[in-house]
A and B are shown apart, each in its own frame.
Chain A
Amino acid sequence: EADIYQTPRYLVIGTGKKITLECSQTMGHDKMYWYQQDPGMELHLIHYSYGVNSTEKGDLSSESTVSRIRTEHFPLTLESARPSHTSQYLCASSPLAGATDTQYFGPGTRLTVL
Chain B
Amino acid sequence: QKEVEQNSGPLSVPEGAIASLNCTYSDRGSQSFFWYRQYSGKSPELIMSIYSNGDKEDGRFTAQLNKASQYVSLLIRDSQPSDSATYLCAVNKGYSTLTFGKGTMLLVSP
- Cα distance, A15 to B90, chains bound together (Å): 34
B32 touches A101 (CB 8 A): yes
A residues 79-103 near B (Cβ < 8 Å) are 90, 94, 99-103
Known: A104-B46, A105-B44, A107-B42. A42 touches B100 (CB 8 A): yes
Interface residue total, chain B, C-beta cutoff 8 A: 20
Interface residue total, chain A, C-beta cutoff 8 A: 23
A41 touches B32 (CB 8 A): no
The answer to whether A58 has its CB under 8 Å from any CB of chain B is yes
Known: A48-B97, A103-B98. A42 touches B103 (CB 8 A): yes
Known: A42-B103, A106-B43. A99 touches B96 (CB 8 A): no
* B45 contacts across to A, CB distance below 8 A: 105
Known: A102-B46, A102-B49, A105-B44. A48 touches B96 (CB 8 A): yes
B49 touches A90 (CB 8 A): no
* A41 contacts across to B, CB distance below 8 A: 102
List chain A positions with a Cβ less than 8 A from chain B.
Answer: 31, 33, 40-43, 45, 48, 50, 58-59, 90, 94, 99-108
